[in-house]
Amino acid sequence: MRLTRRGLLVGAGLGGALLIAFPLIPRRHPVPLQAGEGEHVVDAFLKLGRARGGKDCILTVAVPFCEMGQGITTLVAQIVADEAGADWRKVAVEAAPISPAYADPVLSAKWAPLWMPAFASLGNDAEGTLARLHAERGPMMITADGTALAAFETPLREAGAALRAMMAQAAADKWGVGWEECETGDSAVTHGKKRLSFAELLADAVEYDPPDLPVLRAEPPRERPGQFPEGAPARHPRLDLPAKVDGSFTFAGDVRLPGMVHAAIAHAPQGSAVLSTYDKQAAASVRGLVGVVHARRWLAAVATNWHAADKALRAMEPRFRADGPVADNEKVLVALDKALDKGDAVRLMAEGDPDALLEKPVLSARYDVEPALHAPLETTSATARLRDGKLELWIATQAPERARRAAARAAGLSRQDVIVYPMHAGGSFDARLDVRIAAEVATIATIIRKPVQLTWSRWQESLAGIPRTPVSARLDGALSPDKSRVLGWRSRLALPATTIESGARLLDGQGIGDALDLQDRADPMACEGAMPLYRIPEKAVDHVPAALPLPTARFRGQAHGYTAFFTESFVDELAHLAGREPLSFRVGMLDGQPRLVACLSGVARLAQWGGGVDASGQGIACHRMDLASGGGAVRSGMIAVVATARQEAGVVRVERLSAFVDIGRIVNMDIARQQIEGGLVFGLAHAVGGSSGHARGRPLAGHLSQLGLPLLADCPKVDIAFADSNEEPFDPGELGMVAVAPAIANALFSATGVRFRRLPLISEGL
């Protein structure tokens, strides 16, 4: 049995077989998938076997991503099934095990400034040796930054092509024809009028080798917007929907093991604080109490059910003391003010030098963004069982290998002795990049010696969850004498080195306190999207690092979530100052950006744009996100949004959101629409709420009802249209939310004549 370039293998199990992880670096690793009874492994992404009764051949696709409701399991399975010619009704999925076979070189390259800061330029090519080696060594299996299609579409298609070739060879030998003349579809091989199902060919097909270079179909997977208008039946219905509808879908908090006990936890306030005192005796009277476990920064109670554990925890009245700075809203604001006004800036990006032109800017505006809580629907939960020297961990995580490392350290085991079962998450928005719960539940299981499920309460999710960074920014602009053009632009952003800080926690396993010490560094990734796309002769972006008594984390939309707000609000202010209509003002400065111009024109038609005139209540914004996919290639996603909004009784009422989106070739129209629609509503939520300050390390808004999130009755009419594009596909998951806040802010200006320069918008008062 030979190995193909990507290590394709057919067999009945591991059997000592090996994968070659990358063709340029011939390092061998065990094949990650294990075949069950009657199953056969095709490669790292695919195995097949008979369904009960033996009449059907079922394809099982390994998914190396965290399913958080974004539909990635369906997308991955669809790519394999389409390439193989499989019947969608006969496709299943399973979580991929931790293995270098699923290492993500695209994410590794994008995050090169985090793992190789001094020489990031050497590791920022996804097709380069360093990025691949780093991804493999981790292995870097992290669901983040929308890299799935860029990194894995081709390997997934090759898995499907390998299976198609094997089935075609088996059928061709029976018919005495060339296998290249055969076609597959609906889980069957055809040649003229001859037809054999995959199930009929299975026993013979697994004896054939696929070609060294699997022959892909001429056309990659694509669904055109015109073929799937809103409301049309999906060609590939989501695999997870039936179970979610009937309630049988298993999230992390649904895991149940024999003899399992439950744990509730109390964390120290946000910042540098440690456990001081607690009354263990007060918990003794709680019925069902199993034990109490404490660490430096937390206290947990374990009982036969979670409510008893929580009751015991409350009875102990744990107290914490400051061991350094703790999060405090006033101190955060003072630090940002000081940095913005007097801090030393680092110039991160520039075209020309706008400083002389902006000694006396024609317009200067300050914008502020408050810390935002992730607030996923399902709070953090993980289950651990220690037996026979092995720790099993059931956890919803975007970083399974990092969770495994954290659990191993806590339990005093090697990584190889920790088995991670990735679970589905009920939302995340990058909250599940935090792997602290893996260490907590491993510690509790090691001490209690029983299977234990640890679930954070909603209050603990808000208290211990690390928010998106606050930001203060000052934007300066200069217009030509006739006010027809923007000649100069400067963005000065005061914020901590939030991506360096969060990267140190995730990639290096640093604690919160140690990572806080990195906040005072220049961080280009924390300012992504701040350089305007508009044709402006002199423009620059400066970062003023600000050390805060508040840890910060990654968040859906990343830096684009606030830089788009600054840029698109400020360009609207410049348009108003110049007496220009906001749409034409933007289009006039977008030379060389035909896709973004098309998005603006498209959304104008979709929303019946009226020019954003006074009292119209319409506002417009656009943005572009880029992802380097290797070899100098860059994938881009474009969005333009028109919001219709008004103020009413002191609150923001958004009546309509319209979006025109270009994400290149669309693989699954239904999922793309869901992601953009969800992103628009998420962007709305964080335009009008979702934020919390802190006092003495405790969030001022600790429950969902306190976050000012929109209710279903508050959700506007949403219209979405997609460009029919031939460009490489771009993940829509984060793109949908980035332009919503500036569009709403600009709409409120149209409706009220007042500029809203702080997120959430209601924080300035209406």
Residue 592 CB-density burial (10 A; 0-12 exposed, 13-18 middle, 19+ buried): exposed
Flag whether pLDDT at 181 surpasses 70. yes
- pLDDT, position 590: 97
| pLDDT (average), residues 368-391 | 97
Predicted local confidence at residue 647, as pLDDT:
85
In degrees and rounded to multiples of 5, residue 85 shows phi and psi of 80, 40
pLDDT surpassing 50 at residue 17: no
* Residue that the structure tokens 């400020």 belong to: 570
Distance between CA atoms of 728 and 629, rounded to whole angstroms?
Answer: 10
pLDDT of residue 25: 44
Return the number of other C-beta atoms located less than 10 Å from residue 642's C-beta.
29
**pLDDT tens sequence across 443-489:** 999 999 999 999 999 999 999 999 999 999 999 999 999 988 999 99
Q: What's the rounded Cα separation, in Å, for the pair 248 and 254? A: 9
Report, as an integer, the average pLDDT of 639-654: 91
Residues 6+ apart with CB under 8 A from 144: 107, 398, 430, 433, 554
Question: How far lies 292's CA from each of 256, 287, 437, 449, 642, in Å?
Answer: 21, 14, 17, 12, 54
- The pLDDT of residue 762 is 77
What pLDDT score was predicted for residue 360?
A: 95
Was domain 252-324+374-464 assigned CATH 3.40.47.10?
Answer: no
Interval 79-104 mean pLDDT: 96
Average pLDDT over residues 157-166: 96
Measured CA to CA, the distance from residue 399 to residue 103 in angstroms comes to 11
Domain with CATH 3.30.365.10 in the chain: 18-103+138-221, 252-324+374-464, 329-373+467-764
Residue 562 has φ and ψ, to the nearest 5°, of -110, -30
Per-residue confidence (pLDDT) for residue 15, from 0 to 100: 34
What are the tens digits of pLDDT across the range 281-307? Answer: 999 999 999 999 999 999 999 999 999
State mean pLDDT over 573-599. Answer: 96
Q: Which DSSP category does 676 fall into? A: H
CATH number assigned to the domain covering 18-103+138-221: 3.30.365.10
Sign of CA dihedral 603, 606, 607, 612: positive
What is the average pLDDT across 203-221?
92
pLDDT above 90 coverage of the chain, percent: 89
Residue 229 has pLDDT above 90, yes or no: no
Which residues is 91 bridged to in the sheet?
Answer: 59
**Confidence grade of residue 55 (pLDDT, cut at 50, 70, 90):** confident
Mean pLDDT of the chain: 93
Rounded distance between C-alpha atoms, residue 165 and residue 202, angstroms: 12
Q: State mean pLDDT over 515-526.
A: 97
Using CA of residue 339, residue 340, residue 343, residue 345, what is the dihedral sign?
positive
Q: Topology of domain 329-373+467-764, per CATH?
A: Aldehyde Oxidoreductase; domain 4 (3.30.365)
In this prediction, residue 718 carries a pLDDT of 97
Residues 521-540: what's their mean pLDDT? Answer: 98
14 pLDDT exceeds 80? no
CB 32 within 8 A of CB 26: no
State yes or no: pLDDT of 20 exceeds 80: no
Residues 680-714: tens digit of each pLDDT: 999 999 999 999 999 999 999 999 999 999 999 99
In this prediction, residue 615 carries a pLDDT of 83
pLDDT category, 26, cuts 50, 70, 90? very low
Residue 297: the pLDDT is 96
| Residue 216 confidence (pLDDT) | 96
